[in-house]
Homo-oligomer: A and B are copies of this chain.
Amino acid sequence: MAIDQTTINVPEGELAQRVETALERAGASEPSRRAATRAMMHASRHGVDSHGVRLTEHYCRMLGGGRLNKDPQLQVNYRAKASAVVDGDDGLGHYAAYRAMEVACELAKTTGIAAVGVRRSSHLGAAGAYALAGAEAGFIGFATTNTDSMVALFDGAQRFHGTNPLAFAAPVPRQRPWFLDMATSSIPMNRVLLHRSLGTPLPPGVAADSAGRPVTEPSQVEMLLPLGGVEYGYKGAGLAGVATLLSAILMGTTLDTDFIPMYQADNISEPRNMGHFVMAIDPSHFGGQNAFDTGILRYLEALRHAPGRAGGKPLAPGDREWREADRRAAAGIPVDPDTARFLDLQ
């Protein structure tokens, strides 16, 4: 989401405080609002404004409407030595998802790899927040979720999958983690809205009209196309299916096509029973911590020194985000006018 000229820059600490206060006023329990604030700040800090603090108002509305439980009591159901399912009790999804990653890391310490599902959850913000939490604890972290239908199937003419993200992160000695958080569509829907408001065409192969025909005129867009576009979109659609498989089918939660819409729904009182899936891998239980540390440093060194094409420079996944986080730590986090008003920042 582009930040226009009328945004204001707010220091991280102050912004986090405002967000948490707003969630508190909406009735969210302390641990659940803490988690939601942490996840939104993760996104805002790394430049993923679509999943950042602008969602505060939405979450507050859902807490008020009853879709979200203000005081969720998480339940961790251990299912096997390396598996568990967290019941989110219909609270803010961030709370359940962070807890799931904590449990996954705890289990993986002794099992090598562990996965934890979440059910009875809701929107978790940026999936990368949880993968990164795993990496910060020393594990290869993975997180995914399914979301509202918005993306056509390959050769499809209807919204089918959500933008279903896949997020991976890995610890790097003395550096910030390797970090990939990607939607399985080429672009998010709010990129379409942005082009619509700017009156500029979209790149080819990223969106389609109501008949599934690829279009570049943003006003005609009815659905997104999966990563890979018109020719190779079966790959993006397949990956979106992986997110649904792990998050919804494996957990017995809502399929993408069955969700009450996140936005613009008449119904904001009924929980959505969203599922997520997180996983942690302990490098010390595979090839060993030393081999891993040496390997990832060599890999990143080679990657960052690989020659670029004219006008480009190869970056490791996350490098762009870390750079943005540094910029924003210094300059403050840009907040759009509506959100600034909602957070009493103006």
- Contact yes or no, A155 B314, CB < 8 A: yes
Contact B314 A156 (CB under 8 A): yes
Residues B155 and A250 in contact, CB atoms below 8 Å apart:
no
Which of A5-13, A19-27, A40-48, A207-215 forms contacts with chain B?
A: A207-215
Interface residues of A, count at CB 8 A? 90
The chain A residues found within 8 Å of chain B, CB to CB, are 79-83, 85, 110-115, 117, 119, 140, 152-158, 160, 166, 168, 170, 178, 180, 182, 186-187, 203, 206, 208, 211-213, 227-229, 231-232, 234-239, 241-242, 244-246, 248-253, 255, 257, 275, 279, 281-283, 285-288, 291-292, 294-296, 298-299, 302-303, 306-310, 312-317
With beta carbons under 8 angstroms apart, the residue of B81, B157, B253, B315 that contacts A155 is B315
| Separation of A61 and B329 alpha carbons in the complex (Å) | 58
State the number of copies, please: 2
Inter-chain contacts of A180 with B (CB < 8 A): 238-239, 241-242
Contact A112 B110 (CB under 8 A): no
Known: A85-B286, A241-B303, A251-B286. 19 other contacts (CB 8 A): A83-B111, A113-B113, A113-B115, A117-B287, A154-B315, A155-B313, A157-B307, A168-B238, A170-B245, A182-B239, A186-B235, A212-B310, A212-B312, A227-B227, A227-B235, A234-B317, A252-B287, A253-B287, A255-B302
CB distance from A234 to the nearest CB of B (A): 7
Provide the residues of chain B in CB contact with A82, threshold 8 Å: 81-82, 111-114
A228–B316 Cα distance when bound, in Å, is: 16
Q: How far is the CA of A282 from the CA of B81 in the complex (A)?
A: 12
Bound Cα distance from A283 to B277, whole angstroms = 13
> Given known contacts A178-B245, A182-B235, is B314 in contact with A252 (CB within 8 Å)?
no
Do B212 and A287 touch (CB < 8 A)? no
Knowing A238-B180, A255-B295 touch, does A314 contact B245 (C-beta < 8 A)? no
* Chain B residues positioned under 8 Å from A286 (CB to CB): 79, 83, 85, 115, 117, 250-251
